[in-house]
Structure 1
Amino acid sequence: MSVFNASRLLGKTVLITGASSGIGAATAILFAKGGANLILTARRADVLKTVADACTSAHKESGVQQGGRIATIQLDVSDKTQIGAFLDKIPSDLRNVDVLVNNAGFVLGVERVGDIAAADYESMFATNVFGLIAMTQLFIKDFKTRKTGHVINIGSIAGREPYAGGSIYCATKHAVNAFTAAMMRELVDTPIRVTEIQPGMVETEFSVIRFRGDKSAADKVYDGLQPLVAEDIAEEIVWAASRPPHVNLAEVFVLPVNQASATINFRGNRL
């Protein structure tokens, strides 16, 4: 953990949405190793408990004496009612959130424009955009009052470069990119930091969900290529959070070595 300067994470409270699997779970575990306290949220409460247990074990194994307080709260960020009641569910000793990691998001389907079900594009926008904005709105006023805080939004290469078969997902991630960039400009006269992490190909549940549970179709996305894994992105998130207070990593664009863009990659060599 020395590469992250873990001392800057000691006792900090980190809230992570979509923490039940993939990038969110890996990020939670790495923050726990660094001595942070955690508020973990996701729709799947049962899986979230498993992640919390892994965080507790990681914290104990690290030998760090500070932090290690972990709370789990079931939350669907696409549900306005749940977000409205969320602050009251946070334990009193974790109310002062230092880092908000807006990780919850997903893609569903590869249908082209004209064939996309309304339920699919509405659910993607509700989670990827409206949920992210709503969670940020919950905490930004407190960050301003306390003159501290860090918002880390998980974007995507899809927010930089549109591609066929991903029109809705690309639109949501372009929205995240614009929202994050505008927020950073609005907060330039404050000590609040704003970061967007933009991964390329990461092998998690992401593609399985995109292909509606078809694991074989999801596996083909990474065939012949060594993709990133959740832990790779977790390292970038924790790295950004552990910079000195005057340093803001505005954007971190992360690709596997054999990917050059959303559609350009080399599949002849899996490392």
Structure 2
Amino acid sequence: MADKEIAQDDQRVAVVTGGSSGIGEATARALAGDGWYVIVAARRVDRLEKIAAEIGGGAVRLDVTDDDSVAEFAARIDRVDLLVNNAGGAKGLDPVKEADLEDWQWMYETNVLGTLRVTLALRDKLVASEGLIVNMASVAALNPYAGGAGYNAAKFGLRAMTRVQRIEEATEGTNIRVTEIDPGRVKTDFSLVRFKGDRDKADAVYEGHLNLGPEDIAEAVRWVASLPAHVNIDRIHIMPRDQV
């Protein structure tokens, strides 16, 4: 077992999954700028370690689709004040009649069950700190589109889970806050993953449009996390000006 990740003094601890690039990396940098000790978590350890060194945080390998990986990850962390469930993604843009079951399974495992695994593993620590959970959903959780059924279904599922969790934590009186953030079109490697490395298809998604950057979404997370404990931001929908 590797050494535990321990913040200095009484420093607040944030965990950011999918933290090796894109929105996750930008979020880690924004939170660190606000004084958080940020633990970046993903599968690409080399990228994580570089980011952690630059922000004065920690880097821990994490595969949200693997039970053992999540358990090992949680065992290295003593305190969590903020959990940003950012790991997710899409694969394919096929109509339902041509659905690739492996792509659908990956999307559900990563976006829904991955979020659930990490949340369950860290929940006791979040209860102890009366912490905040931010789930990164998508406008795809609200607006279905042709070819998007697999990703729509996964993000609809994540949104439903987030809504129920918000109700249950409030009813139980744990003082855990739960926020859903729904980004629109953000220029990252999202489309490159969706099109399985086809750069031309990925670039075409963003050409001729205004696009958000990862830093725009990170600023929303930073703001939510900066608010006093009696404030719960329920949902934030963020889109570029030309996306409706």
**TM norm structure 1:** 0.83
Is the CA contact (8 Å cut-off) linking 1:147 and 1:190 kept in structure 2?
no
1:163 match: secondary structure: coil
Q: Deviations over 1:115-139 (max 9, x none)?
A: 2222211111111110101111112
In structure 2, give the amino acid aligned to 1:243: L
CA distance in 2, matches of 1:147, 1:72: 21
Q: Could you tell me which residue of structure 1 aligns to residue 26 of structure 2? A: 26
Give the match for residue 217 of structure 1.
201
The aligned runs of 1:148-163 (5 Å cut-off) are 148-163=130-145
**Retained in 1: the 8 A contact 2:85–2:115?**
yes
* 1:30-52 CA-partner distances (Å, limit 9, x unpaired): 11111110111101111111222
- Alpha-carbon contact 1:159-1:171 (below 8 Å) kept: yes
Question: Map of 1:190-229 to 2, 5 A cutoff?
Answer: 190-229=174-213
The aligned runs of 1:82-231 (5 Å cut-off) are 82-90=69-77, 95-144=78-127, 146=128, 148-188=130-170, 189-231=173-215
Secondary structure class of the residue paired with 1:179: helix
Shift of 1:141: 2.8
Q: Which residue of 2 aligns with 1:64?
A: none
Coordinate RMSD, CA, aligned: 1.3
Deviation, structure 1 residue 147 = 5.4
Structure 2 counterpart SS, 1:125: helix
The residue type equivalent to 1:228 in the other structure is L
Q: Which runs of 5+ in 1 are unaligned?
A: 1-9, 57-69, 261-271
Report Cα offsets for 1:166-221 as digits up to 9, x if no partner.
Answer: 10101010011111110010011232110011000000000111111111211111
Q: Deviations over 1:130-161 (max 9, x none)?
A: 010111111223333x2511000000000011
Identity of aligned residues (%): 40
Q: Deviations over 1:43-88 (max 9, x none)?
A: 11111112223323xxxxxxxxxxxxx2111111011121122222
Among 192, 217, 220, the residue aligned to 1:236: 220
- In 1, Cα distance between equivalents of 2:126 and 2:33: 24
Query: Which residue of structure 2 aligns with residue 15 of structure 1?
Result: 15
- Secondary structure of the 2:228 match is coil
Whether the aligned pair in 1 keeps the contact of 2:87 and 2:110 (CA below 8 Å) is yes
* Equivalent residues of 2:81, 2:129 under 8 A apart: no
Query: Paired residue for 1:45?
Result: 45
Quick one: distance in 1 between partners of 2:226 and 2:160? 24
Give the corresponding residue for 1:66: none
Partner of 1:267: none
* Unaligned runs of at least 5 residues, structure 2: 1-9
Over 3 Å counting, the alpha-carbon distance change for 1:147 and 1:21 in structure 2 is closer
- Identify if the C-alpha distance between structure 1 residues 136 and 116 changes in structure 2 by more than 3 Å, giving closer, same or farther: same
Opposite residue 200 of structure 2, the aligned amino acid is S
Once residues 74 and 67 of structure 2 are traced to their aligned partners in structure 1, the CA distance between those partners, rounded to angstroms, is 13
The 5 A counterparts of 1:250-265 are 250-260=234-244
The amino acid that maps onto 1:178 is A
Aligned to 2:54: 54
Counting matched residue pairs gives 233
Q: Give the TM-score normalised by the residue count of structure 2.
A: 0.92
2:62 aligned residue: 75
